[in-house]
Amino acid sequence: MNRRTAIALAVVAAVLLVFAASNIRQGPWIGSPVRAVTERGALSDAEKANVEIFEKVSPSVVQVVTQTAADPLSEEQEGGGSASGTGIVWDGEGHVVTNNHVVQNASQVAIRFASGEAVRAEIVGTAPNYDLAVLRIRSARKLPPAVAIGSSADLKVGQFAFAIGNPFGLDQSMSSGIISALKRRLPTSSGREISNVIQTDTAINPGNSGGPLLDSAGRLIGVTTAILSPSGSNAGIGFAIPIDIVNRIVPELIRDGRVPTPGIGIVTANEAVATRLGAEGLIIVRTAPGSPAERAGLRGVDRATGDIGDVITAADGKPVHRLSDLTDALEQVGVGKKVRLSVQRDGATRDVEVAITDIGRTQ
């Protein structure tokens, strides 16, 4: 092999080596080279606002975990059960607000903070008529600040709304949307209705119950309580108890452990019956013995003939079409005072003053 041939072979070998090395670097078994990170720039104003709301409020949103004692008479429930929801730190005294249905029938309650610390809590009071409950934390290393309180009286459909909670046990989850509607009515397990309920398309799922609904300033405007969904998961229709009701009920629960249930002692027919009979108002079916309604001379349906007795058409001058209209009026007047009812009987209308009593103490 002469010198020229050797040089040519060396050049060819070097080219092949370079080609092979290139294939090795780019081969599928090695992987693509790491790409440089592109700087994203500053967050938008909307993103900054969202982040600020979460960082400000989330430490004050807790997970509520309950344990239900086993029923000794039940063969199916041997070890009891557990459930979880969300709660809101209400004040510096360790009170936490949540839904009544989250802690209903609970034998033990625990609170888990965003920091991961878990503590025991006790039930201070419940208000089934409003699906609200107040807990008290027994001990904690350091309480998060209370959530700032807003108002639900001036809410507008279309304004932004945010929820923070523990959907499906996934703690510290935030969702956003808008206020979809106002003045909804929501039935409760006690058989009454909550009025002026907030409807939102903010994602609310099982586990969010008892958590905060916030406005764009990070203020508490409602307590999330229910969803309307065929599947049981978020369908864009969620409900929250307005803060103006919460702010009225919670102090009473802290002070007395319960809230009065204003009433006059009547049983009424539902709207469908009134519509079928052509009555424009609330039909009294019967009055409770010894009740303010009986003492005021109100009459129910005549059991012998089936004739309609009194139909309530207004309370303090405001029209009454359903039971919730009357209960709203009674709550505004208050226990211990009197309400003026407009009543139709035999085609004539008359006004009757009826005392309002706490019917919850007799149930």
| Shared-domain flag, residues 288 and 355 | yes
| Shared-domain flag, residues 287 and 309 | yes
pTM: 0.78
Give the 3-state DSSP-derived string for 60-78, with helices as H, strands as E and coil as C: HEEEEEEEECCCCCCCCCC
32 counts as catalytic: no
131 counts as catalytic: yes
Show the beta-strand stretches assigned E in 90-202: 95-98, 108-112, 118-127, 132-137, 160-165, 173-187, 193-200
Looking at residue 20, its pLDDT comes to: 54
Looking at residue 229, its pLDDT comes to: 57
Round to whole Å and give the CA distance between 211 and 209: 6
Does residue 212 lie in a domain region? yes
- Percentage of the chain surpassing pLDDT 70? 85
What's the total number of domains in the chain? Answer: 3
Does residue 13 lie in a domain region? no
Looking at residue 124, its pLDDT comes to: 96
CA distance to 52, 198, 240, 252, 327, per residue, from 154 (Å): 23, 12, 15, 24, 22
Pick the range with the lowest mean pLDDT from 129-133, 186-190, 265-269.
186-190
Looking at residue 72, its pLDDT comes to: 44
Q: Which pLDDT band holds residue 4 (cuts at 50, 70, 90)?
A: low
Nearest 5 degrees, angle CA 66-CA 210-CA 188?
A: 95
Range of the domain at 56: 52-137
| Shared-domain flag, residues 329 and 311 | yes
Looking at residue 18, its pLDDT comes to: 54
Does residue 318 lie in a domain region? yes
Final residue belonging to a domain, choices 214, 240, 256: 256
CATH number of domain containing 331: 2.30.42.10
Does residue 293 lie in a domain region? yes
Task: Report which of residues 191 and 155 the model is more confident about.
Answer: 155
CATH number of domain containing 224: 2.40.10.10
Looking at residue 278, its pLDDT comes to: 80
Final residue belonging to a domain, choices 223, 256, 289: 256
| Shared-domain flag, residues 243 and 321 | no
| Shared-domain flag, residues 241 and 288 | no
Residue 50 has pLDDT above 60, yes or no: yes
Looking at residue 182, its pLDDT comes to: 95
346 counts as catalytic: no
Q: What is the pLDDT of residues 55-99, one digit of tens each?
A: 999 999 999 999 987 544 444 444 457 789 999 999 999 999 999
Whether residue 55 contacts residue 162, with contact meaning beta carbons closer than 8 Å, is answered with no
Give CA 49 to chain center in angstroms. Answer: 23
Does residue 198 lie in a domain region? yes
Pick the range with the lowest mean pLDDT from 127-131, 132-136, 156-160, 268-272.
268-272
| Shared-domain flag, residues 266 and 243 | no
Does residue 8 lie in a domain region? no
Which one is catalytic: 60, 84, 101, 175?
Answer: 101
Which one is catalytic: 173, 209, 291, 342?
Answer: 209
Q: What is the pLDDT of residues 292-347, one digit of tens each?
A: 999 999 999 988 888 888 999 999 999 998 888 898 899 889 899 999 999 999 88
| Shared-domain flag, residues 266 and 348 | yes
- Percentage of the chain surpassing pLDDT 90? 62
Kindly state the tokens that stand for 228.
């309307």
Does residue 5 lie in a domain region? no
| Shared-domain flag, residues 270 and 343 | yes
| Shared-domain flag, residues 246 and 331 | no
Does residue 26 lie in a domain region? no
Q: What end-to-end distance do the CA atoms of the chain give, in Å? A: 114
Mean of all residue pLDDT scores within the chain: 86
DSSP symbol at 43: P
| Shared-domain flag, residues 275 and 348 | yes
Over range 207-225, report the average pLDDT.
95
Round to whole Å and give the CA distance between 183 and 23: 69
Pick the range with the lowest mean pLDDT from 56-70, 151-165, 225-239.
225-239
| Shared-domain flag, residues 121 and 167 | no
| Shared-domain flag, residues 274 and 353 | yes
Final residue belonging to a domain, choices 241, 256, 271: 256
Residue 222 has pLDDT above 90, yes or no: yes
